[in-house]
Amino acid sequence: MRSLITHPMDPDYRIEIDNSLILCEDLISKYRMLVGSSLWATMLGRYDILYATNTYVRYNILPRKGHLNAWR
């Protein structure tokens, strides 16, 4: 049975101070796809994930490994 996720983003993760490795081109593409899908979901009414999505959008240019791993 799957556990229930109550937050779209780990509340203890500090995305702005992440110093992990920068993603390779393939993973940057995957990161941008996840961000784009989340933006689309917020347009369809998923306002509960809006803050987390906008936080991830800020790092769309140069995402790091920690940013991708923090995605729930």
Could you report the per-residue pLDDT of 43-52, keeping only the tens digit for each?
A: 999 888 888 8
How many other C-beta atoms can be found within 10 angstroms of the C-beta atom of residue 1? 3
User: How far is Cα 62 from Cα 72, in angstroms, rounded to an integer?
Assistant: 19
The tokens for 46 are 């998923």
Instruction: Enter the pTM of the model.
Output: 0.80
Whole-number pLDDT of residue 51: 87
Please write the tens of the pLDDT for every residue from 57-68: 999 999 999 988
Q: Which amino acid is at 10?
A: D
Whole-number pLDDT of residue 30: 93
The tokens for 50 are 């809006």
Tell me if 35 sits within 8 A of 71, measured CB to CB: no
pLDDT of residue 16 exceeding 90, the answer is no
Whole-number pLDDT of residue 37: 93
